[in-house]
Amino acid sequence: MALRTLADVTDLDGQVVFLRVDANVPLDNTTITDDGRIRAFLPTLSWLLARGAAVVIASHLGRPSSSFDTSLSMAPVAARLSELLDTSVPLVPAVSGELVWEALEQLLPGSACMLENLRFDPRETSDDAAQRVALAMEWAEHVDATVVDGFGVVHRKQASVYELPSVTPSFAGLLVEQEVDVVTQLTKEPVRPYTVVLGGSKVSDKLGVIEALLPRVDRILIGGGMAFTVLAAQGYAVGKSLLEVDQIETVKTFLADATARGVEILVPTDIVMASSFAPDADYTVLAMDVLETGPDGGEAMGLDIGPETAETFANAIASSRTVFWNGPMGVFEFEVFAKGTLAIAQALTEVAGLSVVGGGDSAAAVRTLGFSDDAFGHISTGGGASLEFLEGKTLPGLEILGWSR
């Protein structure tokens, strides 16, 4: 079956639509530091409003420690939405119950409101399916249709993502449709040469996607903290750099598999080794085979790929026609250790083909470093969902919308 999309929707005039989005934005107190996820679902919201729907917007934000954690209220998101739409999007201070039902009764066609953080109701994420169904049925009594436009949550069975779409007419929003189209291109007949760039802290987080992609890609570039486990598997000393000792044998297996398949694995040839994990730490650029020979010896830790590696990786990306990148090359939050990530991001903007930034920290990095979203072929809004899609895992939030591989 094909994914049900907004192209399958008929008349929405006067209909109450539950719009599940992913507005899990980073906050500095109550200030949104990156509104990319909000901007991403605006086309769907505008599409619904233009057709006369009364839209109730719903999202989670962070991991609340209580049923009402004021530091994780959706108030900043509702305020930012109001600014972007140039019209009021009031916040309903509840997830379900009379306050919500009254707000929906008063909601006019072509207008929108926002529910409080969905995770303020523990039933949203409950492991007990009956609890999730109960919450979904409460919503279903008051809405006419559900549109899921939060790609970052489609890999989860949650009341708003799975149970509600199962009991109401349900469709994928424009963002989810686009995300599925792009990630599908990465798994089915991608234009070659096809390069995958992987970074971030733990190689264990990426083993599944590496295994799934090895039969499909031409080369894999490995940076970030995960590179040190790979270097250790190749016999190099890495000082106090992040290392998953228990993954070394597994890494050796995938390196052998890559060699057998003719897939090129590029690892750092030089590393920025620092005296401590701090933005003002002393550092030295060292070749990969002498990482413990700097001023701090075996106490030094790698916080970024070196300039030689950055150039090598950038050249590999430039020669590719399809590139998927997930995970920064270093501690980009510290300016002095952001150069490797900056080089990779710049290289992706120059790809003569499809370049995909795989959400999560990668998306945060490119925005932090000053790149605009339209500089890339696509910036995914779902890091975890993108990886699980590529791994071939079940994505319940898509399957309930009619999608199948």
Catalytic residues: 37, 202, 360, 384
Tell me the CB-side half-sphere exposure of residue 385, using CA atoms within 13 A: 25
With a CB cutoff of 8 Å and minimum separation 6, the contacts of 75 are: 30, 91
Distance CA 231, CA 271 (A): 11
Write the single-letter amino acid at 48: L
Helix 339-349 to helix 360-368 angle (10° resolution) is 90
Q: Which residues make beta-bridge pairs with 221?
A: 197, 266
Among 2, 21, 38, 9, which residue's Cα sits nearest to residue 144? 9
CA distances to 177, 181, 214 from 187, rounded to whole Å, are 16, 10, 11
> Are 277 and 330 contacting, i.e. CB atoms less than 8 angstroms apart?
no
Please give the distance of CA 103 from its chain centroid, rounded to a whole number. 32
DSSP, collapsed to helix, strand or coil, labels residue 121 as coil
Distance CA 192, CA 37 (A): 30
